[in-house]
Amino acid sequence: MSVRTTLRASPTLLRVGFAGALAYRAEMIVWVLATTMPLVMLALWTAVANGGPVGRYGRPQFIAYFLATFVVRQLTGCWVFWEMTFEVRNGTLAMRLLRPIHPLWAYAFESVAVTPMRLVVCIPAALATLLIVGRTGVTHEPLLWFAWLVSIAGAWVLTLLVNFIVGSASFFVESSLKLMDLWLVFYFVLSGYLVPVDLFPASVRHVIDWLPFRFQIGLPVEIMTGAHGGRECLVLLARQWSWVLAALLATAATWRLGLKRFAAYGG
């Protein structure tokens, strides 16, 4: 399971993952369409903004914010925990363990491979943002766009690791899927997915600053819509990647401990 074998296997794994995404494209489109929440929230918030701007948000800013949310959600969405839990339960994980590549890497490649398909959906949404709100809705700073890429990568890795932790939790508890449900509740409420983080009262915002949820979705959206200057960006990115590191350690621990408990039933 050396780094070299993993790297050598990566193009093939990516191709397989992409072929899988292509084969189930109808399903994929349904999943994309099911991401209606940002659009529903968009309707609500623009109705609010009709009575005058809220904080730094007027109608165009809300449109930019929630379309950006849609794009970021599409790019960082990951449901690997589902597959992991399923494979742990019915023992098919044993097949993956036999392969000369770490199962977590395999899962990671499978979920990256979906990205091109998702881009197909994201690009129209991004273009729509530009068309509707013009260039004022998104940041102009090239450096900030670079920061955006870093933040998207961070958000994606963080989400993937959370998936891994919940998936590994299925080694220990039967109801790990409910664990994800609980996480998702916090994620929806505190990440900026439903309500832009800076519209929360200051006291709540201080709490959000120290929690991981905002870094899964809110941060890339904020950078994209130009909410932060350069220095602020760096601070927030540093926090995001600290969470990534913490999640990485937690993943390694739960996976190792969990795997010892794994028992597959032979056929």
Helices marked H in the chain — which ranges? 3-23, 25-33, 37-49, 59-76, 80-90, 93-98, 103-112, 115-133, 142-169, 176-190, 202-209, 214-224, 230-261
Tell me how many degrees the CA angle 190-152-223 measures, rounded to the nearest 5: 70
User: What is the footprint of another protein within residues 90-109 (CB under 8 A)?
Assistant: none
State which residue, 151 or 159, has the beta carbon closest to another protein: 159
The mark string for 136-175 relative to another protein (x by CB under 8 A, - otherwise) is: ---------------------------------------x
131 sits near another protein (criterion: CB under 8 A)? no
Report the b/e string of 179-197 with b at 16+ CB within 10 A.
bbeebeeebeebbbbbbbb
Shortest spacing between CB 201 and another protein, in angstroms: 7
Question: Tokens at residue 262, please?
Answer: 């794994």
Shortest spacing between CB 20 and another protein, in angstroms: 15
Shortest spacing between CB 63 and another protein, in angstroms: 13
209 sits near another protein (criterion: CB under 8 A)? no
Closest CA to 89 of 170, 178, 181: 170
Closest CA to 183 of 215, 219, 213, 205: 213
248 sits near another protein (criterion: CB under 8 A)? no
Question: Tokens at residue 223, please?
Answer: 């950078």
Distances (CA, A) of 124 to 60, 63, 155, 219, 233: 17, 14, 21, 21, 27
The mark string for 30-49 relative to another protein (x by CB under 8 A, - otherwise) is: xx-xxxxx--xx-xxx-xx-
Shortest spacing between CB 46 and another protein, in angstroms: 8
Shortest spacing between CB 108 and another protein, in angstroms: 25
Instruction: For residue 123, give the 3-state DSSP assignment.
Output: helix
Which residues, in sequence order, are bridge partners of residue 54? Answer: 57
Residue from 2, 3, 4, 26 that binds another protein (CB under 8 A)?
A: 26
Residue from 22, 95, 131, 182 that binds another protein (CB under 8 A)?
A: 182
267 sits near another protein (criterion: CB under 8 A)? no
State which residue, 14 or 44, has the beta carbon closest to another protein: 44
Site residues (CB under 8 A) for another protein? 26-27, 30-31, 33-37, 40-41, 43-45, 47-48, 50-51, 54, 175, 178, 181-182, 185, 188-189, 194-195, 199-201
